[in-house]
Amino acid sequence: MTVTQPPTTIANVVIPRTRVTTVALMVGFALLTAAAAQVTIPIPGTPVPITGQTFAVLLAGAALGPWAGAGSQAIYWTLGALGLPFYSDASGGWEAATGATAGYLVGFIVAAWVVGALAEKGQDRNVWSAIPAFLAGNAVIYLFGITWLLYSVDAFTTVGEALAAGFTPFVVGDLVKIVLAGLLLPAAWKLVDLSQRDS
């Protein structure tokens, strides 16, 4: 007989979840994403810089689950849209929230949901399933980001141009962040499992 474990994420195991702790974690990951956005490397020829945001987005989804993970990124987008300097280069406001990088910002919300849903199924518990889960989340970010670039930036008139501006420069860095997240989450689960055995 197979025992089915209830869906859970690492934050559920480590921190007793109440409405207060859930909101606190969501705000915390929104702030983490804002901090990661300040790690910025501009790229000539594209309005999209290299940042640490995607790493924070992947961690938010995996740690919090689909709804709280997506909620953390919705909070991040909202606070930036209201004018807080939460986006890259400490930018904020409605124009930044709906500008050339808006597709990526919306993609963060959906990607956190996707990664969270996969994490609830246990895909963040070993490296070989965690990395594909994070790849899936990153693919969602690219899908939204590149689509919006093609729509919103007049200089990009073909899919190839949008890919060259919104995908190609980021592949190596994003792969590094995916591998780091894919190593971090399984390691965290092992620590949790060890602490539960010792208690």
Query: For the whole model, what pTM was predicted?
Result: 0.93
Element holding 45 (H helix, E strand): none
The residues near 158 (Cβ < 8 Å, ≥ 6 apart) are none
Q: What is the DSSP string of 125-177?
A: SSHHHHHHHHHHHHHHHHHHHHHHHHHH-TT--SHHHHHHHHTGGGHHHHHHH
Q: Which domain holds residue 39?
A: 16-189
Is 7 within a domain?
no
Is the pLDDT at 4 greater than 70? The verdict is no
Is 2 within a domain?
no
* Measured CA angle at 166 (ends 145, 112), to 5 deg: 40
pLDDT number for residue 2: 42
State the total domains in the chain.
1
**67 burial type by CB count under 10 A (0-12 exposed, 13-18 middle, 19+ buried):** middle
- What is the rounded distance in angstroms from the CA atom of residue 160 to the CA atom of residue 179? 27
pLDDT number for residue 6: 58
pLDDT number for residue 193: 85
Is 3 within a domain?
no
Is 198 within a domain?
no
Is 197 within a domain?
no
Is 77 within a domain?
yes
50, β-bridge pairs: 41
| Range in 13-17, 80-84, 113-117 with the lowest mean pLDDT | 13-17
pLDDT number for residue 3: 41
Q: Are 98 and 78 in contact (CB under 8 A)?
A: no
For residue 1, name the pLDDT band (cuts at 50, 70, 90).
Answer: very low
Is 6 within a domain?
no
41, β-bridge pairs: 50
Is 10 within a domain?
no
- What is the rounded distance in angstroms from the CA atom of residue 36 to the CA atom of residue 62? 17
Q: What is the CATH number of the domain that holds 33?
A: 1.10.1760.20
